Structure 1
C-alpha cells in the first residue's frame, strides 16, 4: 500500500460517524440505493441498514455505476424485517426519524442530528409503511414550495444527511476519530489490502498489524 493511500484511508476513517446512519425500507431501485450509499460516503456515514422483501430470490437491488464504488467504503447491513432493524438500532440508543408526512411530522431541520440518529427512508412509490411509522421515534418532512409534494428518495436522503453533516461540523464531530479502535484498525486493513481479506477470513486468522506507513509487519 502506498503511503499516500494509507494516509487517505486514515483521513477518511477519522471522519466516519458511527452514530449517524440511514435505514431503508423496500427501496428497490438499484440507482436509488446506490445514490444513498454514495451520499453516505460523502457525509461520513460509517454504515447503512437496508430491508427489502425477497423478490425473485433477490432481497436487495444490485449496485449501479451511480455508486461510483462507494459501496466499498460504507458498510451495508441487510435485515430480513424492518421491525428487527428498528429494534437493533434502538437498542444501540439511536433515535429513528422517518421521512413521513403525518400530523406529528416536523421540519427536518428541527432535529438534533448530533445525537445518535437513523434516518428512515421508505419505498419509492409508497414511502414508509404505516406500521413502521408507528414504530419509530419521530417523523420529518422537507418543506416543498412547488407543485410536486415529494422528492426522489435518494435526493431526500441527501438533503437530510447534509443537514446532519452541517450540525456535526459545527459541533466538531469531524475533528477527531470517533470509531472504536478495533473497528478502525479492521477497516484500515480491509480498505488497504482488499485482495488479502478473503485469505485471512477463510482461515479465521486475525488481520496482521501494520506499521506507521501502512505496510504489513512481517509475522514470525
Structure 2
C-alpha cells in the first residue's frame, strides 16, 4: 500500500482535525452489528471530533466496514471489548459518565444532559436497544422525544442527533478552540495519520 503524499495542505488539514479531537467524548456500541450502521456512526464520530469509539460485538463478528463510511474508520479508532461489563468498567475507570439511550421511566431528554463532562453515549442494536444489564450499569438514561407513531430512530441517526447536541454544547464551551489532546499524544497521532 502506497504511503499518502505529504503535501503541506494535507499536513495542515491533519493538524487542524487533530487539534479539535475530543478525547473525552465517545460512543459505546452494544451489539450494533449491521455494517452500514457501524460505518455511519463512525462517520458521525469523525464529524463531531470523537477520537475513539468503543464496541461490544461490532458487526456480529464480521470484521468489515461499509464503504459508505467515507473511510472514517481510518480516523476513528474502534476499541472492542469481550462484554458490556468490561467496556463500561473501563470507561468509568477513565472518568466517563455513561449515558444509555434507553426508554426507561426515568430517562431524561437528551438535551438536558451536560456533555461537557467526559461522556460515553451507549447505544444498542435497533430492535432491542441496550441490554437490561447495560442499562443498569449506566449512570443515566436519555431519550430522544418522538412525536410520531414510531418509538425510536435508526441507531445511526440517534447517535448523530445525540452527538451533535454534545458538539453544540462543547462548541459553546470553547472545547474546539484549543487542542484537548496532550502535545505528545497529538504529535504521535499526527505522525501515524500521515501514513493513513
What range describes the TM-score normalised by the shorter chain of this pair? over 0.9
Per the alignment, residue 9 of structure 2 pairs with: 4
Contact kept? 1:107, 1:140, Cα under 8 Å: yes
TM-score normalised over the length of structure 1: 0.84
Contact kept? 1:53, 1:80, Cα under 8 Å: no
Contact kept? 1:33, 1:61, Cα under 8 Å: no
Q: Would you identify which runs of 4 or more consecutive aligned residues in structure 1 move more than 2 Å?
A: none
Q: Distance in 1 between matches of 2:38 and 2:187?
A: 27
Q: Distance in 1 between matches of 2:58 and 2:182?
A: 32
- Gapped regions of structure 2 (runs ≥ 5): 1-5
Q: Distance in 2 between matches of 1:39 and 1:102?
A: 25
Query: What are the equivalent positions in structure 2 for 1:55-134 lying under 5 Å apart?
Result: 58=61, 60=62, 62-134=64-136
Per the alignment, residue 168 of structure 2 pairs with: 166
Root-mean-square deviation (Å):
1.3
Residue 61 of structure 1 and its aligned partner are, at CA, apart by 5.0
Per the alignment, residue 28 of structure 1 pairs with: 33
Contact kept? 2:38, 2:58, Cα under 8 Å: no
Structure 1 residues 171, 149: CA separation in 2 closer, same or farther (over 3 Å shift)?
A: same
Structure 1 residues 30, 96: CA separation in 2 closer, same or farther (over 3 Å shift)?
A: same
List per-residue Cα deviations over 1:39-78 (Å, max 9, x = no partner).
00000010000101895xx2x5520012110111111101
- Gapped regions of structure 1 (runs ≥ 5): 195-220
Give 1:156's match in structure 2, choosing from 148, 153, 158: 158
List per-residue Cα deviations over 1:79-98 (Å, max 9, x = no partner).
11110000000001100000
List per-residue Cα deviations over 1:8-42 (Å, max 9, x = no partner).
00000000000000000000100000000000000
